[in-house]
Structure 1
Amino acid sequence: MYNMLTGVDLAKKEIQVCVAKSNKIVRNMPMTPTAFSNWLATQKPMTVVFEACATSNYWYQCAREYGHDARLISAKLVSNIRQNQKTDKNDAEAVLQASQLSNVNFISGKSKEQQELQSLVRMHQLSVKHKVAYGNQLCSLLLEFNIKLSPTDAGLNSAIQSILEDAENGFSAIFREALHTAWHQYLKSIELVKHYEKSVARASRASEACKNLMKIEGVGPTNAVNLYIALGCCELGVFKKARDAAACIGLTPIQHSSGGKVRLGSIGKNIRNSSLRANLVAGAMSAVNQAVKRDSRTKKDEWIKGLVERRGKRCAAVALANKTVRTAFSLLRNGTDYKAELLSA
C-alpha cells in the first residue's frame, strides 16, 4: 500500500519534496506550502517522512488526514546522514535516506489537542521565568542601596511599600516612579502565572487521558499534561516498552556495558527534557513526604516507606517518578483506568 517513500524538508515559504520508488529517487523538487498541500491530497497513500522542526506537527497531521503514513525523524540524525553541502535538495534526500536505516527511532507526532496543551504549559513556564526574573532584579537593585529584604512576595511588597511611602529616604522622584512601575510589572507577572495555572488545570480536567493520569500519586495537572504529550502518541511504536519511555525521560541509570558485562551507572544529568524530569521528581517527592507521614493505605505506600528506610527520600522520589512514567505509559497504551492496589484488611 505504501510503496512510495517521500522525504520532506520543511521551510516557511518553500518545501523540498524528495520522492523515491523502488529505492530510486524519481523526484526532488521544491513546492510552495499550498502546492504541497494540494499534492498530498491528490497522491495515493504513501509514507511521508518529515524532519522534526517548526510546522512539522501541522504537516504530520495534514498528511495523516489525507491517508498517508506520516512520520517525524530527528533533525540531528538527518544532519549526520546528509552528504555534500547543506541545501534543501540534499536535506530532503537525507531525510529519505535516514528513514530507511534499520531500527531507526521516529519521533512521536502530536495531535492538535496535544499541541494546545503543550502551548499552555510553555506559556506557564515562560511566565514563571519572567516572574522570577522581575523579583530577582528588584531584590538585587535594592540590595545595592543596602536594603536587605526577604525574597518572598510578602517581604518584597513590604520593602517596596516602605520605600515609596518614606519621603525622607533620599530617593528621587524619578527613581520612585520607576520603582513603582517595576513593582506593578512584577504584580502583573504574578497574576499571569496564576492565570496560566488555572488554564492548565482546566485543560487537564477537560482531557479524559489527563484526568486518568492525575489519579497517579504525585501527578498534578502540569505533570499529567507533560506525560500525555510525551507518551500519548503510541500508534507508531515510538516506545516499545515502558522502560524505554522512562529511559528517554532520564529516570533510569545510564548503562556502561561492554564485553557482555552489564554495568549500570547513576542517573544522567544531561537530558533533552530536563524540565519534565524535574517536575516528575518534584511531584514524586511530594507523594513520598505524604506517604511517610500517614499510615499505609496502599501497597505502593508500603513500597515507598520501605525504599525511604533503605535509600532515603531523594532516591525514593526518583524511583517513584520512574514508576509513574511506566504506569502512565501502560494506562495510555492500553486505555485503562488507574486504581491503586489497596492493602488487604
Structure 2
Amino acid sequence: MTTIRVIGIDLGKNTFLLIGHDYSGREVFRKKLNRQKLLQLLSVHEPVIVAMEACGGAHWLARRCESYGHQVKLIPAQYVKPYVKTNKNDFIDADAIAEASMRPNMRFVSPKSELAQICTVIRKIRAGYLKERTACMNRIGSILLEFGINFPRGHHNMKNLFQYLADNKEPVPPMLILELREQLDHYNQLNTWIKEQEKKLENLLKDDELLTLLQSVPGIGPMTASCCLSTVGNPTDFSNGRNFAAWIGLTPHQYSTGGKSRMLGISKRGNKELRELFVHAARAVIWRDGTAERYFGSWLIDLKRRKPFNVALVALANKLARIAWSVMVTHKTFEIRI
C-alpha cells in the first residue's frame, strides 16, 4: 500500500470501484466497496491522489477526500473516454480514470463548495418551476382553443385571464370556468415559488463581494452572477477569458483537415444554463443603441450594422463572458474604457 500514487474511483450510487496505480503506472490493487467502507478506507489511507469523473456525487466525495488529506483530481467524463481499453466495465473505467489523471496536459475541475452546490440546487428547482409555468400557460391556451377562444400569449394576459374573457364577452361554460380557475391558481402558485427561489439565492449570496462586482458588468444581474459563482469552482482553472468563453460554448466550432480550417457555428459546449444567461445578458444590452455605445463604443454598433443580429448577439455574449472571468479573477469592478 505504500507504493500507491493514485487511486481511480468509478462512482456509483451504492458501489464504488477502486483501482490503485503505483509510480510506474502499474495496477497495485482493485476493490469493490460500498459507500461506508469507501469512506473508512480513505480516512485511514496515507495521502495519495484520488481521481474521479466530475459527475453526480463527485464534489461531495472530493470535499471528504480533501478533509482526509488526499489530493483530489476531478476529470470531465469526455476526457476519460479515450483511455478506456477494449470492452467497457466499471473496473476498466476506474483504471482509465487513474491513467488519465496522470497525463501532464489533462484538464481538471475544481471541487465545488457546499454553498455553490446549494445555489445550483436552488437554481435547478427554479428552472423546473419555470418549465411547469410555461406548460401551465400552454395548457390553458389549448383548453380555450378547444372552445373557439384564441387567447393571446404573455404573462400580462394570463394574470388577467377572466378579465380578458369578460371584456371580450366570450361564452365560457360554467364547468370550464372551474377548471380554468384551478389552472390559474396553479400558475399563480408557480409564480410565488419562482420568486421565493430568487429570494433564497439573494439571501445566500448577499454578503458575497464577487456577486456585487459581477453585477457591475452590463447586462449581468443577480441570476447570471449567482450562476457564475456556483458553476465556476475556481476561475483560475482557465488561463484567460477566451478559454472561459470556449468552456461555456460561445466560441466557433473548428473543423480543420488537409491544411484547410473551417470555423462553424458556436460549439454549445459546457454549461447550457450559463451560456443561455450570457446570451440574454447580451440581448439586454444590444437592443438599446445608447447603452451599447456607452459601454462598448462604436465596435458594437458597427457590428450590428455589418452582421446579422444573432451573430452580433453571440459576439457580445462572448465578450461579456470574458469580462466576467476577468472580474472573478481580479476582484475588480467593471470600468468603461472607450
TM-score, normalised to structure 1, is 0.85
Query: Counterparts of 1:110-149 in structure 2 under 5 Å?
Result: 110-149=112-151
Query: Counterparts of 1:291-310 in structure 2 under 5 Å?
Result: 292-293=289-290, 297-298=294-295, 300-310=296-306
How far apart, CA to CA, are the structure 1 residues paired with 2:293 and 2:95? 58
Shift of 1:154: 3.5
Cα distance change, pair 177–266 in 1 and its aligned pair in 2 (3 A): closer
How far apart, CA to CA, are the structure 2 residues paired with 1:221 and 1:158? 28
Residue deviations 1:4-25 (CA, integer Å, cap 9, x gap): 1010112222222211112121
Shift of 1:132: 0.5
Shift of 1:164: 9.6
Shift of 1:217: 1.1
Determine the structure 2 residue equivalent to 1:41: 43
Letter of the aligned partner of 1:326 in structure 2?
R
Determine the structure 1 residue equivalent to 2:257: 258
Cα distance change, pair 170–296 in 1 and its aligned pair in 2 (3 A): closer
How far apart, CA to CA, are the structure 2 residues paired with 1:213 and 1:2? 46
Query: Counterparts of 1:1-345 in structure 2 under 5 Å?
Result: 4-22=5-23, 23-83=25-85, 85-101=87-103, 103-160=105-162, 169=171, 171=173, 173=175, 175-234=176-235, 237=237, 239-268=238-267, 270-290=268-288, 292-293=289-290, 297-298=294-295, 300-311=296-307, 313-333=309-329, 335-343=330-338
How far apart, CA to CA, are the structure 2 residues paired with 1:329 and 1:202? 23
Shift of 1:277: 1.6
Shift of 1:192: 1.3
How far apart, CA to CA, are the structure 1 residues paired with 2:179 and 2:292? 54
Contact 2:16–2:32, Cα closer than 8 Å, also in 1: yes
Shift of 1:130: 0.7
Residue deviations 1:180-202 (CA, integer Å, cap 9, x gap): 22221111111112222233333
Q: What is the SS of the residue equivalent to 1:337?
A: coil
Q: Which moved more, 1:73-82 or 1:105-114?
A: 73-82
Q: What is the SS of the residue equivalent to 1:45?
A: coil
Q: What is the SS of the residue equivalent to 2:334?
A: coil
Count the aligned residue pairs: 336
Shift of 1:208: 1.8
How far apart, CA to CA, are the structure 2 residues paired with 1:13 and 1:60? 17
Contact 1:232–1:332, Cα closer than 8 Å, also in 2: no
Cα distance change, pair 84–56 in 1 and its aligned pair in 2 (3 A): same
Percent of paired sites with the same residue: 27
Q: Which moved more, 1:222-231 or 1:208-217?
A: 222-231
How far apart, CA to CA, are the structure 1 residues paired with 2:281 and 2:39? 43
Which consecutive unaligned segments of at least 5 residues does structure 1 have? none
How far apart, CA to CA, are the structure 2 residues paired with 1:307 and 1:293? 15
Q: Which moved more, 1:153-162 or 1:54-63?
A: 153-162
Shift of 1:31: 2.0
Shift of 1:240: 2.7
Shift of 1:176: 3.9
Residue deviations 1:46-86 (CA, integer Å, cap 9, x gap): 11111222211100111122222111123344455333554
Letter of the aligned partner of 2:222 in structure 1?
P
Over the residues paired in the alignment, what is the CA RMSD in angstroms?
3.0
Q: What is the SS of the residue equivalent to 2:106?
A: coil
